[in-house]
Amino acid sequence: MIDDLVVRNEALAAKHEEQQHMIDALQDEGADTVEANEKLGFAVDAREYLQCAEILFDLGLCKVRVISNNPDKLKALQDAGLQIVERIPIEVPAEEPAAHYLKTKKEKMGHLIGS
């Protein structure tokens, strides 16, 4: 059974690596991260946070401080029943290409990023 899980995990990792190569290729052609995912039929952000909340509950936590600029992450954790007592923003100076990536996150995904 463990061998089956390892094989499935390796197959899933290979699939994700292939998808990331396709996203990278579109970005090399000028698409931003949102456009690349949409062109390939992928969710703009496919991450799920329920398991994160479950782990925190298992550790006895129900109130958390979250280091994130992602409002969807905050909402998902709150919807799972966690109380967010503080959001700590991530603010770092960014140069290209990271500056373009962060601008896309802010403008297209609503990330809570300063100027």
Quote the CA–CA distance of 33 and 12 in Å, as a whole number.
Answer: 21
Q: Which two tokens stand for residue 59?
A: 């550790």
Which residues are known catalytic residues?
45, 47
Cα 110 to chain centroid distance, Å, stands at 13
Decide if 57 contacts 29 (C-beta within 8 A): no
Q: CA–CA separation, 27 vs 34, rounded Å? A: 10
Q: Select from 5, 15, 25 the least CA-distant residue to 46.
A: 15
